[in-house]
Amino acid sequence: MTSEEPFLTRPCREYKDSYIAAVYEYIEENLEPTWHPEILSSRFGEFLEVMRQAETEPLAGMAPATTYWLIAPGIGYVGDLSLRHHLNDSLRRYGGHIGYTIRPSQRGKGYGKRLCQLGIEAARQRGIRNILITCDDDNLPSRKIIEANGGQLLGRIDNGRGVLTRRYWVYDDRQCADY
């Protein structure tokens, strides 16, 4: 990899401004942020602490998860990925080990595919061999991303929201898959 390529980092102050700019983009597309940009701006340390706590002391019903930011040189934050350390019943149906988002202004440039690839590598480094990734049946970009990263379709299930969920495994050892 050259130094010009995008890379993963944990949320940190260095990319605070580009992250906050991205949150305004998410709001523009009607995505309700957990942290409003003005609150993020004044309480960024607290935000970082909450991210860290999610790794070891998740909220009730949540699996422990690590958040990574995808950083592109010259741009800063372009997207994020949540890596769940293990599956709970809910994630086994919908959510899987990895969830990702690319900020609206940077979509369609291959960042989603690269982010997913780096997330799979991070999962393997944690010892997760078979990786479950899910997406809505009608989310074509996400389907392409998962399939380009070796995802094999296990099936489609009704997620109770009126949309089918596609469940894919990226296998390391099919014999050990946790269906």
Ligand X SMILES: CC(C)(COP(=O)(O)OP(=O)(O)OC[C@H]1O[C@@H](n2cnc3c(N)ncnc32)[C@H](O)[C@@H]1OP(=O)(O)O)[C@@H](O)C(=O)NCCC(=O)NCCS
Least distance (Å) from ligand X to the CB of residue 139?
A: 5
Cβ nearer to ligand X, comparing 62 with 140: 140
**C-alpha–C-alpha distance, residues 23 and 31, integer Å:** 9
How far apart are CB 128 and ligand X at their closest, in Å? 17
Q: Which of 141, 135, 138 is nearest to 113 (CA)?
A: 141
Cα–chain center distance at 69? 9
Question: How many C-beta atoms surround the C-beta of residue 90 within 10 A?
Answer: 11
- Residue 86 CA to residue 2 CA, distance in Å, equals 32
- Residue closest to ligand X when measured from CB atoms: 112
What is the nearest approach in angstroms of ligand X to the Cβ of residue 59? Answer: 21
Closer by beta carbon to ligand X, 53 or else 148 = 148
User: Closer CB to ligand X, residue 45 or residue 160?
Assistant: 160
List of residues contacting ligand X (CB under 6 A):
99-102, 107-113, 135, 139-142, 144-145, 148
**What distance in Å separates the CA atoms of residue 151 and residue 1, rounded to the nearest whole number?**
23
CB of 43 to ligand X, least distance (A): 25
